[in-house]
Chains A and B, each alone.
Chain A
Amino acid sequence: MRQPRAALFDSAFLARLEHISFVTRRARKSHLRGEHTTLHRGASLEFADYRQYQPGDDFRYIDWNIYSRTHRLFVKLFQAEENLNIHILLDTSRSMGFGTPPKLEYAARVAAALAYVGVHNLDRVAITSFSDTLSRGLPAMDRRSDIVHLLRHLESLKADGRTDFNTSLSRYGSSTPRAGLAFIISDLLDEGGYQTGLEALLRRGFDIVLIHLLDPAEINPELTGAYRLVDSETERSVDLDVDRSLLQAYRARSGRFFQQAQAFCFQNGIEYVRVTTAVSLQTLMLEYIRTGVYVR
């Protein structure tokens, strides 16, 4: 029977989250004015620069004072403040149900915290779960009152299905018209790899924060003896005599995998955060993520 989850956050933690906000490095076209600053010049209260008038420019931004002195048309450019699209992509494959606490439970709390930060800053937050397919998820929300629905939705998530990271992310990128800041929370345990999916999102203009979530037992398995190990997703089994040498080989392989993931993210401008469920949520949000380039 599924155990009821504990309350996702306490109020003190929420209060601290309210001091966080996200930024993006890329220029965005936003339909609504928000509280986020982009380098996109447009309608804003804060003057940024001048440029020569081009046909089609809004007459309202022609600086007539300059025209009176130079008889040339210049338009004023303002630093636009627009609201940000936050995409939270949550891996809900069966492997995410592994661990103590289950990785999915931890991931849901991370997603909730991220969503809270987004909504609190009037960003549009969309949460989508994926395994081998994309779920429909919740409609994008930008009101703080929506956080209740979001939390309920996160609590209802179940770890099920195999991971098809690449397909799911590629499909998400192609089906989402508005790119933004994508937080991807996954254990990346997909034999098909993860690179294609991430590249698809990058091509669609997403800024990506990859939260690589693992259980401590996945990094340092504490097994000794004869085991029949069953893959939680594929249900394929393997008989192994687990001993020190095998564990060393395991750590070597997993270490290489982590390094490759980190190197890939670095090369592609993806912020990579590897975290285990042993790390407290506060530490993750207030230290790991806050020190990233997309948080201020």
Chain B
Amino acid sequence: MTLLQPLGLIGLSAVPLLVILYFLSRRRTVRAVSSLLFWPHATSERKRTLHLDPRSSRSLLLQIAAVIFLSLALTRPVVTLPGGITRDETVIVMDASASMKARSGSATRFDRAREAASRLIRTLPASSSVRIVVASAENSIAYSGPQPGALSAVTALEPTDTTAHLEDAVSLALALLEPGRKNAVEVITDGAVDGVSLRSTAIPVHMHVAGEDAGNMGIVGFTLRAQNPPSGGTEVLTTVANFTGETQETTLHLTFDGEPPVNRPVVLAPEETASYLIVRDGKSPGRATAALDITDALAEDNTAFAVSNYERPLSLLLAGPGNLFLERILAVYPGLRVTRSERYEPGENRYDLVIIDGGEETALEAGRFLLVNTPLRAPWLSTRGYGAPRGTAVRMTGHPLLADVPWENVTVFRALLSDVSPPGISVVGRNGNSLFFAYRDQRLRLVSLPFDLRDSTLVLTPSFPILMDNILRWLRPDLTARQASHKTGELLPVPSTGAQPVQITDPAGRPVTPVETEHGPAAILSEHGVYRIVSAAGETFAAANISDVAEANLHPRLSVPAAADEATVEKRHSGVLLPLIFMCAALLLLGMEWYVRDGRGA
């Protein structure tokens, strides 16, 4: 039962008041009568009435019960009753995040969630339609069909090692339903999620919390990084968090390619997170494993994996008269071998990436290019010379090129006025005035910033390196695959190797089918462990770790803000019925109290 207006419980303060008044009323009025001859029980009444007169006690109890019911009515309680639900369509959102693997008694939280979902499905009419949305890194619809088949679908569900995007999953569920019908979204989660905010809709959303609260300690970060020359060593960074509620003293075991482990004592206070850095001599080409010597509710995050894939660095040509900002950034970018040139010769294809800074108008047919202040000749682009950009730039929010880049802080004073039309992509800018655009086809990928970096505040913003990283990764998605470790749920770009298929197997040895993304085919790293990728280029590995503080923290903390939670029309309806029942009960009790007090009930 949920109380929509918990402040109504203030009414319960009337209970002690009633008790006080009751005992005050026990102070009797002294009245002389001619004789006690006719008063009933005259000889034995006094002791009995002094403390516990049954009638007045009944009256008090009835008054208290009436106040309690009245207070409950004021709290606007809502409850989901088992059985009797009339529904046309129900979408069940199952939280399949890593925290659902935590133990809850003799089972896991996901087992509890399955039980809750099964109970819920059984209460639905057989004629109703059920959809099951699995909330994980990639939300998916696991079942869509009549109610009877949903039970077996729920039984077949398994939790993942990823972080669930619960809010997106609810949005997906709401999108599947048609407003105006008897529909509802039932979200079954352990509540160990952060920042969920449900928007108001006409479709009711009911939250069900499955599993018990639990403490946990886990590795929330584990990565390798090659040190720059001349040291040439490997930095191993491990981050551990303690959500057990007690100070934990344990040992962190770090293993490199089967060598004897390096042990590191770990002492963490409750809610404390600490990072441990170990520098290894020489580059480690193999795998590294971190393990915490602890037994807690969630075993998966007590180990973490990393793989060092130091492949041939990408070759990059920086063509232009010289740009300090670009040179500095490219110098520290890992995995790049930068070559400088005064100008770009058309047809040059020896480089994995080419950055052209300034220069004459050019036409590009194949390759990966970043154009900075370089006119481009392309059928989807027209330019009108230099000028001051007019109006406020409009961003294409959500585009990976703009990830974590607050473009609204950027001002461009002078730019090559460019009008981008499809298939060109104007990432920032108004029609006919694009300040950041891109293009992609089978042979060509390019990104253009049509202004001199010195004519903007872009290079002065802290997000400039992030923007450059976004651009380089968009141009060369395989850069992502070179990370030592990934977070579960991330996409691992599948290397393009021509006609030969790429085989990817998950940590359990099961084959993984790549999915098509805007960056090309990619495998979803949904399991915690080391993935194996076999291609024509050879065998490589990718490590995926839960590595999420939100998943390591198993404490339920789902708080649905009142404005959003009240999005549920059904809750509001049931929020009328229950108070009405409680109000009627209170009135009935008051009537009984009057009846008893008046002596009729004696």
The interface of chain A, by Cβ under 8 A from chain B, is: 95-96, 98-99, 103, 187, 189, 191, 215, 218, 221, 223, 225-234, 236-241, 243-250, 253-254, 257
How many angstroms between the C-alpha atoms of A231 and B53 in the bound complex? 21
Contact of A233 with B35 at beta-carbon distance under 8 Å, contacts A239-B46, A240-B49 already known: yes
Which residue from B31, B42, B46, B598 sits with its C-beta under 8 Å from A223?
B31
B438 CB, nearest partner CB in chain A, Å:
88
Chain A residue contacts of B50, Cβ below 8 A:
239
Interface residues of B (CB under 8 A from A): 25-40, 42-43, 45-46, 49-50, 53, 55-56, 597-600, 602
Residues of B within 8 A of A215 (CB): 34
- Is the beta-carbon distance between A227 and B30 smaller than 8 angstroms? yes
Residues B37 and A246 in contact, CB atoms below 8 Å apart = no
Interface of A: prevailing SS: mixed
Q: Is the CB of B40 within 8 A of A250?
A: yes
**Contacts A238-B42, A245-B602, A253-B37 given; 13 further ones with Cβ under 8 A?**
A103-B34, A189-B34, A226-B25, A226-B29, A228-B29, A230-B32, A230-B33, A231-B36, A232-B34, A239-B45, A244-B599, A245-B599, A247-B599
A248 to chain B, nearest CB (A): 8
Which residues of B are found within 8 Å of A103, using beta-carbon distances?
34
Minimal beta-carbon separation of A132 from chain B (angstroms): 14
The answer to whether residues A257 and B599 also contact, given A226-B26, A226-B56 and a CB cut-off of 8 A, is no
Residue B28 contacts which of A187, A239, A245, A246 (CB distance < 8 angstroms)?
A239
Closest chain-A Cβ to B235's Cβ sits at a distance in Å of 83
A-B CB contact pairs (8 Å), 23 listed: A95-B35, A99-B34, A187-B34, A187-B35, A191-B37, A218-B34, A223-B31, A226-B27, A227-B28, A227-B31, A228-B29, A228-B30, A233-B35, A238-B36, A238-B43, A238-B45, A239-B45, A239-B49, A240-B45, A241-B56, A243-B598, A250-B40, A254-B38
Nearest chain A CB to B18 CB, angstrom units: 15
Q: Which of A229, A239, A245, A249 contacts B33 (CB 8 A)?
A: A229
User: Complex formed: what's the CA distance from A239 to B43 in Å?
Assistant: 10
**Contact call A243/B55, Cβ cutoff below 8 A:** yes
Q: Please, which residue of chain A has its CB at the minimum distance from the CB of B49?
A: A239
Whether B36 contacts A236 by the Cβ 8 Å rule is: yes
Q: In whole Å, how far is A21's beta carbon from the nearest beta carbon of chain B?
A: 34
Taking CB atoms, residues of chain A closer than 8 Å to B600 are 244-245
- Judge whether A98 and B32 touch: CB under 8 Å: yes
- Contact yes or no, B55 A241, CB < 8 A: yes
Closest chain-A Cβ to B32's Cβ sits at a distance in Å of 5
**Please, which residues of chain B bring their CB within 8 A of the CB of A248?**
599
Q: Tell me which residues across on chain B come within 8 A of A240, comparing CB atoms.
A: 39, 45, 49
Q: Which residues of chain A have C-beta atoms less than 8 A from B30's C-beta?
A: 227-228, 230, 237
Residue in chain B with minimal CB distance to A237: B46
**CA–CA, A191 to B36, complex, Å?**
9
Interface-centre pick from B42, B55, B600 (highest chain A CB count, 10 A): B42
Q: Which residue of A lies closest to B45 (CB)?
A: A238
Closest to B31 in A: A227
Q: Residues of B contacting A229 with CB < 8 Å?
A: 31-33, 36, 39
| Given A189-B37, A191-B37, A249-B40: A238 and B32 interface contact (C-beta under 8 Å) | no
Query: How far does the alpha carbon of A153 sit from the alpha carbon of B31 in the complex, in Å?
Result: 31
- Residues on the A chain within 8 Å of B599, using CB: 243-248
Q: How far does the alpha carbon of A69 sit from the alpha carbon of B35 in the complex, in Å? A: 72
- A160 nearest CB across to chain B (Å): 14
Contact A95–B34 (Cβ < 8 Å): yes
Chain A nearest Cβ from B478, distance in angstroms:
90
Contacts of B46 in A (CB 8 A): 237-239
* B43 contact set on A, CB distance < 8 A: 238
Q: Give the distance to chain B from A214, nearest Cβ to Cβ, in Å.
A: 9
Q: Which residues of A contact B35 (CB under 8 A)?
A: 95, 187, 189, 191, 231-233
CB distance from B516 to the nearest CB of A (A): 83
- Which B residues lie within 8 Å of A236 (CB)? 36
In angstroms, Cα B58 to Cα A243, docked, is 14
Interchain CB contact under 8 A, B38 and A226: no
A239 to B53, CA, bound (A): 10
Q: How far is the CA of A225 from the CA of B37 in the complex (A)?
A: 19
Is the CB–CB distance between A227 and B34 below 8 Å? no
Q: Which residues of chain B have C-beta atoms less than 8 A from A225's C-beta? A: 29
A243/B597 in contact, CB under 8 A: yes
7 cross-chain pairs, A with B, having the tightest CB-CB distances, nearest first = A243-B599, A245-B599, A98-B34, A244-B599, A189-B35, A95-B34, A245-B602
What residues of A have a CB within 8 angstroms of the CB of B33 in the complex? 98, 218, 221, 229-232
What's the Cα separation between A187 and B33 when bound, in Å? 13
Would you give the shortest CB distance from A215 to chain B, in whole angstroms?
A: 7
Residues of A contacting B42 in the complex (Cβ-Cβ under 8 angstroms): 238
Q: Are A238 and B25 in contact (CB under 8 A)?
A: no
Nearest CB in chain B: distance from A97 CB, A: 8
A234 to B35, alpha carbons, bound, how many Å? 8
In this complex, the member of A187, A221, A225, A241 whose beta carbon has the largest number of chain B beta carbons within 10 angstroms is A241
Contacts of A230 in B (CB 8 A): 30-33
Q: How far is the CA of A99 from the CA of B40 in the complex (A)?
A: 21
Q: Give bound CA distance, A227 to B598, whole Å.
A: 15
The smallest C-beta distance from A257 to any residue of chain B, in angstroms, reads 7
Q: Are B39 and A238 in contact (CB under 8 A)?
A: yes
Flag if A257 contacts B28 (CB, 8 Å): no
Residues of B within 8 A of A239 (CB): 28, 45-46, 49-50
Please measure, in the bound complex, the distance between the C-alpha atom of A289 and the C-alpha atom of B274, giving whole angstroms: 109
Partner of B37 from the list A241, A243, A247, A257 (CB cut-off 8 Å) is A257
| Complex Cα spacing A95 to B50, Å | 26
| CB closest chain-A residue, reference B600 | A244
